[in-house]
Amino acid sequence: MESHLRVESTVWRNGGLAPSSRAVPEESAIAITYNGSSYAVMMATPDDLEDFAIGFSLTEGIITSLDEIHSLAIIEQEIGIELQIWLADAPAEKLQHRRRYLAGPTGCGLCGIEQLSEAIRPLHLVPLGLNFSPEEIMMAVQSISGQQTLNRQTHAVHAAALWERHQGLAVLREDVGRHNALDKLVGALARQKREADTGIGVLTSRISVEMVQKAAIARLPILAAVSAPSALAIRTAADAGMTLIGIARGDGFEIFTHPARISWT
């Protein structure tokens, strides 16, 4: 399935109508199954689905490493796509004790949970990582827009990326859902066996608590976004030891937690 398609439209500008067309992102129902049993149904962009399956499994706590997945198959069906994941015995047994079904709209981060305690997951502490200058923070944030291939075509998707000092933009993933984009990034990092603790995580979306939780699982010491964080995201980042940066635009940024990773000299 293609990640986008071109549709016909009618444009009204300067007081007049004109025929037009534009590229729009595709979204599909993505069913995630473990050992033959349904676990989640998400609306997502049908791109980088192996990354999505692995990243989702990591950020949901189904697995703790790539080695705990025996096999992964992507099955395209008429009504959507099924990601069939087969787990090793230990994570499969663990999953039986925490079954839940999730069916949410695009980018839904907490839909389908059954208990309030599930909303606040066990906290992952991030490593110290490296210190970065304000100029490097700005470089990381500004580098992402030029590499958003799908967003450049559609102007309708989010991105999550890892920026490194010596490589620049190392990995970038896009999706109609901001949570999905970050899951795809986490999965890509795991598949590439790339450590995230020496770089900067960059988001094109607002920072909610789930985004901080996922970034902490990926061991990102610094998370920077173009939008603002929620109050709970700030508290969670503070407890995780994460440097949280928001409102990162062309004229600067705001630091909400652990500013010691920013070098001012």
DSSP readout, 162-190?
Answer: EEETTTEEEEEEEESSHHHHHHHHHHHHH
Classify residue 215 by its DSSP letter: H
Positive or negative, the Cα torsion across 154, 157, 158, 159?
negative
Euclidean distance between CA atoms 169 and 160, whole angstroms: 11
Q: Is 232 exposed, middle or buried (0-12, 13-18, 19+ CB in 10 A)?
A: middle
Cα separations (Å) of 226 from 80, 105, 137? 32, 23, 12
Residue from 108, 123, 156, 232 carrying the catalytic annotation: 108
Residue 108 bears catalytic tag: yes
Residue with tokens 């030891």, as numbered in its chain: 241
Give the Cβ contact number of residue 144 at 10 Å: 22
Euclidean distance between CA atoms 127 and 133, whole angstroms? 18
- As annotated, the active-site residues are 108
